[in-house]
């Protein structure tokens, strides 16, 4: 049976907060580089060390960075996602 108690989260007279798309999508966005569309996602930390394809230096475990992959490939979206790479934020930007 539903509760008759009103929610205290947001009063009825208050406007709802606008949706924060970056937070809702985990920081995922689409960018165009050299005529190709890329999906880019910010990562706050990771459990593994990766090698940045931009500078060929390690992206240490726990370091904030970005993951990028082509939005589409000849073999489909799943293949494009499988080819994703971890970049230092400064190397991608």
In a domain, 13, yes or no: no
Q: What is the pLDDT of residue 10?
A: 65
In a domain, 66, yes or no: yes
- Is the pLDDT at 4 greater than 70, yes or no? no
Q: What is the pLDDT of residue 34?
A: 86
In a domain, 10, yes or no: no
87 burial type by CB count under 10 A (0-12 exposed, 13-18 middle, 19+ buried): buried
In the block, tokens 């990771």 appear at: 46
pTM over 0.75: no
Number of domains in the chain: 1
In a domain, 16, yes or no: no
Q: Which domain holds residue 39?
A: 23-92
Residue 45 is classified by DSSP as -
Quickly count: other Cβ atoms within 10 Å of residue 2's Cβ: 4
In a domain, 53, yes or no: yes
Pull the structure tokens for residue 81.
């996602």
Mean per-residue pLDDT, 34-47: 90
Q: Which residue has the higher pLDDT, 85 or 34?
A: 85
Share of the chain above pLDDT 90, in %: 46
Q: What is the pLDDT of residue 39?
A: 93
């Amino acid at each position: 049976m539903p509760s008759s108690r009103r929610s205290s989260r947001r009063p009825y007279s208050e406007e709802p907060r606008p949706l924060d798309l970056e937070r809702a999508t985990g920081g995922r966005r689409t960018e165009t580089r050299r005529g190709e569309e890329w999906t880019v996602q910010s990562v706050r930390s990771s459990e593994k060390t990766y090698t940045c394809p931009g500078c060929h230096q390690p992206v240490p475990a726990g370091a904030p960075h970005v993951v990028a992959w082509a939005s589409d490939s000849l073999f489909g979206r799943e293949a494009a996602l499988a080819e994703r790479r971890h970049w230092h934020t400064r190397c991608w930007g």
